[in-house]
């Protein structure tokens, strides 16, 4: 199969905590070649290249000047995403970016428009809707097992970042909503389509924290947010995000409720989360996956899907427009809990299609 897919030559911008996971999960795919990497801390880029191959680019400009690079994988911190993506698109490169696409709706949609004007592909994490567990739940819903789905509960209890991450600051600056709310929102918008109205509440629960090194720090961005999201389809979802409750918490995953039954996905990130179904009034029972799942998160799957889309001359299942709509939801949630009023959304995106093996 590898021989049938056009080679995709990539370079990484930002060699932080997640970059290794991308490189490791790319290893089985010979049609994706790592050309090199850059980072504002060149020692990190040097270590990355020593481990995974390619060359060190002294600056992003040097990376963009390399005609051998087809696509830039933007793994920089949240606040740098817009500037890096814009620069890459203007240089004629396709872009795969970590989430979120931007921190404002204006910036997000300007990037989508710029990509369109330049004839470049722009895709953005999260790509976990491509996972086997996620596709299994989507198929249950498409097949009508739940009847009309009217309600979903999405829980993102992401723990205290300082307990595991060496640099928690950027995460707390954007807050749990923008950092990890994107995961279930991408799944929900794939299944339900565009959102239309948001009513939300947010609060700083735990303002004074301490890093792993024992350095105190203070946060001002809410580390807790909850929202009721109304979709154009008529469905309603309750989203909860926080950087306070740890992973052992019992509230996790996404639960969908319809007229005929309910289904539960225990993990919106990993591809092998448990999938369960219950007819209305009955107990949950495990559901077989549509395909044997990847154990964990295959971070490279979005790049593999993109390489296949390029070869097949079709749109990628993951698009900048859907990512921009998710940013609209995030901004609406923030505006709602800041102003104390519901916020409407009117943007659109072309919905993705299921994976071929999940039809």
Q: Say if residue 322's pLDDT is above 60.
A: yes
> Residue 142: which of 345, 342, 351 has the closest Cα?
351
Question: Mind listing the pLDDT tens digit for each residue in 60-73?
Answer: 999 999 999 999 99
* 179 three-state secondary structure: helix
**Contact criterion met (CB below 8 Å) for 171 and 88:** no
- Structural domain spans, the chain: 2-124, 128-358
User: What is the residue whose two structure tokens read 């939801």?
Assistant: 329
Q: Which tokens sit at 189?
A: 């918008």
pLDDT at site 247:
74
Structure confidence at residue 248 as a pLDDT band (50, 70, 90): confident
Cα 218–chain centre separation: 27
The residues facing 183 across adjacent strands are none
Q: Does domain 128-358 have CATH number 3.90.79.10?
A: no
pLDDT at site 3:
54
The residue ranking higher by pLDDT, 247 or 43, is: 43
pTM, 2 dp: 0.97
pLDDT at site 2:
54
DSSP string, 255-280: EEEESSEEEEES-SSSTT--EEEEET
Q: What is the mean pLDDT of the chain?
A: 97
The mean pLDDT of 86-99, rounded to a whole number, is: 98
The residues facing 275 across adjacent strands are 265
Return the HEC string of 151-177: EEEEEEECCCHHHCCCCCHHHHHHHHH
Question: Mind listing the pLDDT tens digit for each residue in 22-42?
Answer: 999 999 999 999 999 999 999
Question: What's the chain's Rg over C-alpha atoms?
Answer: 20
Phi, then psi, of 201 in degrees rounded to 5: -140, 140
**Contact criterion met (CB below 8 Å) for 336 and 200:** yes
Structure confidence at residue 1 as a pLDDT band (50, 70, 90): very low
User: In this prediction, what percent of the chain has a pLDDT beyond 90?
Assistant: 95
Pairwise CA distance, residues 96 & 92, whole Å: 13
**Contact criterion met (CB below 8 Å) for 203 and 197:** no
Strands 236-242 and 149-157: parallel
> Residue 252: which of 270, 233, 231 has the closest Cα?
270
The mean pLDDT of 284-309, rounded to a whole number, is: 98
User: In this prediction, what percent of the chain has a pLDDT beyond 70?
Assistant: 99
The residue ranking higher by pLDDT, 166 or 79, is: 79
At the top level of CATH, which class does the domain 2-124 belong to?
A: alpha beta
Q: Number of helices and strands (H, E) in the chain?
A: 10, 17
pLDDT at site 249:
77
């Amino acid at each position: 199969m590898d021989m049938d897919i056009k080679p995709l030559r990539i370079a990484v911008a930002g060699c932080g905590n997640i970059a290794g996971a991308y490189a490791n999960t790319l290893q089985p795919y010979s049609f994706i070649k790592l050309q090199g990497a850059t980072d504002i801390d060149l020692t990190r880029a040097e270590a990355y290249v020593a481990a995974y191959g390619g060359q060190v680019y002294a600056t992003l400009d040097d990376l963009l000047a390399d005609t051998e690079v087809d696509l830039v994988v933007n793994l920089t911190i949240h606040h740098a995403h817009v500037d890096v993506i814009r620069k890459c698109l203007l240089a004629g490169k396709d872009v795969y970016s970590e989430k979120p696409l931007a921190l404002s709706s204006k910036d997000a949609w300007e990037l989508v428009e710029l990509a369109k004007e330049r004839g470049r592909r722009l895709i953005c994490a999260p790509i976990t809707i491509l996972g086997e567990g996620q596709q299994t739940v989507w198929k249950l819903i498409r097949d009508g097992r739940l009847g009309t789905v009217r309600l979903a509960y999405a829980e993102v209890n992401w723990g205290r970042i300082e307990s595991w991450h060496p640099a928690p600051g950027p995460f707390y600056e954007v807050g749990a909503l923008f950092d990890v709310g994107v995961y279930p929102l991408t799944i929900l918008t794939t299944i339900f389509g565009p959102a239309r109205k948001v009513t939300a509440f947010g609060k700083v629960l735990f303002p004074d924290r301490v890093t792993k090194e024992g350095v105190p720090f203070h946060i001002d961005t809410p580390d807790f947010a909850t929202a009721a999201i109304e979709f154009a389809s008529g469905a309603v979802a309750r989203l909860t995000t926080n950087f306070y409750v740890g992973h052992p918490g019992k509230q996790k995953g996404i639960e969908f409720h319809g007229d005929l039954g309910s289904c539960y996905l225990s993990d919106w990130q990993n591809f092998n989360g448990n999938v369960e179904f219950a007819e209305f009034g009955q107990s949950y029972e495990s559901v077989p996956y549509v395909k044997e799942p990847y154990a964990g998160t295959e971070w490279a799957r979005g790049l593999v899907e993109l390489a296949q889309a390029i070869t097949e001359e079709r749109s990628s299942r993951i698009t900048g427009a859907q990512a921009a709509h998710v940013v609209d939801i995030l901004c609406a949630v923030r505006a709602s809990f800041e102003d104390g009023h519901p916020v409407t959304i009117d943007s659109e995106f072309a919905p993705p299609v299921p994976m071929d093996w999940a039809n």
